[in-house]
Structure 1
Amino acid sequence: MTLPARIALTLSLSLLLGACQAYRPVADYDASRDFAGYRTWAFKDPVLQYRPDDPRIRSDLTEQRIRQAVSEQLDQRGLRPAPAGSKADLDVQTWWIVDNRQQQIVSQPPLWGGYWGGGWGAPIYTETRTIDYKVATVQIDLLDGRDGKLVWRASAEHIDNSGDAGPQQRSDTIRKSVAEVLSSYPPH
């Protein structure tokens, strides 16, 4: 592969992965509910569900990080953990979903021309590469503590590079993702 083609491929990959680093959170809620009436919360068992249910993805450390991040974000929104032995206004269920995705990148050498013989015109060849990557989704469901119905749900995706990350980087990524997910709570 020529140097200009490598540069074009590298630029394409950088733009692709940069654009995919974080996605806007997607939220939905029951508009008939009075969200101002919800004051306490508790985690629903199991706290974190995994899709796929794969031992390479399932981790007590991931669950601890998500628990901590959700607790911090709910606290910032004025919700408090339900006192022991009492029913919470909201039950919190979290999901960690990992999908395999692919992106095709097509690169072409730049159009050179002029003095040394190339012509201005169509490229000589194109190269297509397939990039495999993982996307992790954090989804948070809030269920009414009295009737068990889903009242609010949101999720956010990010490129899963946890294999290359250390514990602090994993914690930061989860904290940021949970903050993105809960940024639309309470609904306006």
Structure 2
Amino acid sequence: MKRLYSALLASALLLLLNACASGPTIKSDYDPSVDFSQYRTYNFFKPMGIENPNYSSLLGQMFRQAISREMEARGYTLSPNPDLLMNVSAQMQDKTKVTTYNEPYYGGYYGYRAGFYDPWYGYGGGTRTQVSQYTEGTVNIDMVDAQEKRMVWEGVAIGRVDGSRSNDELRTAIDQGVAEMFANYPFRASP
């Protein structure tokens, strides 16, 4: 069961990445009632939502590095007694896509072939339906006020799961996905 859980989470995280041109949908939001100038330090939940409760995973380490890079670029420092706690979680959902195409109608004609009257009535004009199955994954990065235990910011990536990446490609995809999530993070740590 633990193996299945780990495999599912790892696969879901691969969405941070879909190699298709459109890529994942990236969103972020924050609580406008929070005074972000009060925060200067951060750390991570132990364990994060993507990890086994007994140990840190390589995937978790990749996310920690990417999130730390973004937080430090905004003036926050890693601390054992943080103002903010960061968490990464993931989930997957099987989806079905149904696409219906209208087939064009090719009209007939009347003509004479070798002296015979030949009415041709045409063809087409129906519909064609295509059904495909895929897995959609969601990765959440939560920023939680450590004192109040309240989420103050969230970044989300939603996309199709692509399990065909190497570790280097996965690391690059995580770095890019986390950077995109933080691109609209409007705050900096106060000096």
The TM-score with structure 2 as length reference comes to 0.69
Separation in structure 1 between the aligned mates of residue 63 and residue 98 of structure 2, nearest angstrom: 32
Partner of 1:37: 38
Instruction: Say which SS state the counterpart of residue 94 (structure 1) adopts.
Output: strand
Q: Which residue identity is paired with 2:177?
A: S
Q: Report the CA distance between 1:20 and its aligned residue.
A: 6.0
Matched, 1:65 2:66: no
Q: Counterparts in 2 of 1:81-160, with a 5 A limit?
A: 81-82=78-79, 86-113=80-107, 117=120, 119=122, 123-160=124-161
Write out the 4+ residue segments of structure 1 that deviate beyond 4 Å after TM superposition: 17-20, 113-119
Higher relative contact order (CA 8 A, sep 6+): 2
Distance 1:113 1:24, change over 3 A: farther
Q: Report the CA distance between 1:100 and its aligned residue.
A: 1.6
Separation in structure 1 between the aligned mates of residue 121 and residue 171 of structure 2, nearest angstrom: 52
Instruction: Provide the identity percentage.
Output: 28
Separation in structure 2 between the aligned mates of residue 124 and residue 111 of structure 1, nearest angstrom: 4
Q: Report the CA distance between 1:19 and its aligned residue.
A: 8.0
Separation in structure 2 between the aligned mates of residue 65 and residue 118 of structure 1, nearest angstrom: 64
- Asked if 1 retains the 8 angstrom alpha-carbon contact of 2:138 and 2:159, the reply is yes
Separation in structure 2 between the aligned mates of residue 118 and residue 170 of structure 1, nearest angstrom: 56
Partner of 1:12: none
* Matched residue count: 158
Distance 1:20 1:115, change over 3 A: farther
Provide the aligned C-alpha RMSD in A: 3.0
Q: Report the CA distance between 1:35 and its aligned residue.
A: 0.9
Separation in structure 2 between the aligned mates of residue 160 and residue 35 of structure 1, nearest angstrom: 34
Give the greater-gyration-radius structure (CA).
2
Separation in structure 2 between the aligned mates of residue 102 and residue 21 of structure 1, nearest angstrom: 19
- Asked if 2 retains the 8 angstrom alpha-carbon contact of 1:48 and 1:95, the reply is yes
- Asked if 2 retains the 8 angstrom alpha-carbon contact of 1:139 and 1:153, the reply is yes
The TM-score with structure 1 as length reference comes to 0.69
Separation in structure 1 between the aligned mates of residue 131 and residue 36 of structure 2, nearest angstrom: 45
Q: Report the CA distance between 1:45 and its aligned residue.
A: 1.4
1:78-135 Cα deviation digits (max 9, x unpaired): 22211xxx4111011111222222211223434444669565xx94432212211122
Separation in structure 1 between the aligned mates of residue 81 and residue 121 of structure 2, nearest angstrom: 76
Separation in structure 2 between the aligned mates of residue 112 and residue 175 of structure 1, nearest angstrom: 51
- Asked if 2 retains the 8 angstrom alpha-carbon contact of 1:133 and 1:159, the reply is yes
